[in-house]
Amino acid sequence: MSRKSERLVNLTIALLATERWITKSEIYRTVDGYSGEVDAKERMFERDKEDLRNLGIDIEVGTFDPLFEDEVGYKIRPEKYQLHLETLSPAQLALLASATQAWHGAVLNSQASSALAKLQSLGIKSDADGIPTLENPLRISDTNLVKVIDSIADRRTISFGYRNAENQSEQRVLEPFGVGTKNGHWYVAGRDLDKSSVRLFRLDRIDAEVKEQGKANSFTIPPDFAMNSLLASKRKDKTAIVDIRVNKGFKLRKHGKVLSSDTEWDRCEISFSDFSEFIADVLWHRDDAKIVEPQSAIDLLLENLSTI
């Protein structure tokens, strides 16, 4: 992991754990990675704030007493951080956007402990116990997520193998702009150089090692790019007919409508945007949900069952 990514994680930890506003001078003293002259630290901090915003992390600005001209301070509210993350993936967690995991020893336990100790030494109370806990820690062996985060921070192009809707692997070349979650899955968004447009890619469908290409600072992130808006616009343009047991399958039902019913089953039309996500939802409901059509969804379900 690059030094910049470590600094971003440490900054997120410090701002998330504090009970009060932390000034820039305190940030420079407590967060590892800020060095050099004051002007250099200022530029570094401004870039870091922009990078965190691209990752969906909202840094609030305020003062200790609005009646006096105090130095402004910064913090991240745990409840807003939790809101931005929405539903977390059961398998993977992006390193930077989940800085709370560092408190619980996933990857950067020593840096987290050091940051907390520095905050305490300055008399800054920590609210670390109130940070939203995540049930599924990051797999340290999963380097692709770390590489994606590093590439966003360094503005470096990446390439990777990606399984499309037909489960065929395709090579993609991407200028990564941001990462985020939707319906329990992590996505990376950026400019697909082959398609010449901004695209979303689900991280758990990357089937080969992410490789960095070219030099750092090879592209700029558009000022109007917003990961949350891009995820919200993901269209549910596919449908399937599913039999769902009566009074069961509420996660599936919220994306569809009932077509017919009997004493045991409701036949529902379910809308979705991604076949793999849909199959995962059906499998999660075990014998309370059965795909009726299309046949392609049934085949993909059977293929997934054969690998369990």
Tokens, residue 233: 């616009």
> Is the backbone of residue 286 left (phi > 0), alpha (psi -120 to 50) or beta?
left
Q: What single letter denotes the amino acid at residue 260?
A: S
At 212 the pLDDT is 92
Below-70 pLDDT ranges, the chain: 1-2, 55-56, 64-70, 78-142, 165-167, 183-184, 234-235, 306-308
Radius of gyration of the chain (CA): 22
- CATH number of the domain at 238-307, out of 3.40.50, 3.30.70, 2.70.98, 3.30.2450? 3.30.70
DSSP 8-state assignment for residue 221: -
Q: Residue 251 and residue 263: Cα distance in Å, rounded? A: 20
217: its two tokens: 């600072």
Return the CATH class of domain 143-232.
Answer: mainly beta
Please report the pLDDT score of residue 108 as a whole number.
Answer: 36
Which token pair is 81?
Answer: 């951080």
Indicate the domain borders of the chain.
3-87+94-130, 143-232, 238-307
- Position 231 scores a pLDDT of 78
What per-residue confidence (pLDDT) applies to 307?
Answer: 61
Q: How far apart, in whole angstroms, are the C-alpha atoms of residue 158 and residue 97?
A: 19
Beta bridge partners of 75: 60
Q: Which residues 6+ apart lie within 8 Å of 146 measured at CB?
A: 1, 5, 95
pLDDT at 91: 31
Give Dmax over CA atoms of the chain in angstroms. 73
Report the C-alpha gap between 40 and 224 in whole angstroms.
26
User: What architecture is domain 3-87+94-130?
Assistant: Orthogonal Bundle (1.10)
Number of alpha carbons in the 13 Å side-chain half-sphere of residue 104: 16
Q: Do domains 143-232 and 238-307 have the same CATH topology?
A: no
What are phi and psi for residue 22, nearest 5 degrees?
A: -110, 125
**Which residues in the chain belong to E strands, given as ranges?**
22-23, 60-62, 73-75, 157-163, 169-182, 185-192, 197-202, 211-213, 238-245, 256-261, 265-272, 289-293
Q: Is the dihedral of CA 7, 8, 11, 17 positive or negative?
A: negative
Query: In this structure, are residues 72 and 63 in contact, taking their beta carbons and an 8 Å threshold?
Result: yes
* pLDDT tens string 10-50: 788 778 777 778 888 888 887 878 888 889 999 999 988 88
pLDDT digits (tens, 9 = 90+) for 281-300: 888 888 899 999 999 888 88
pLDDT for the residue 29: 82
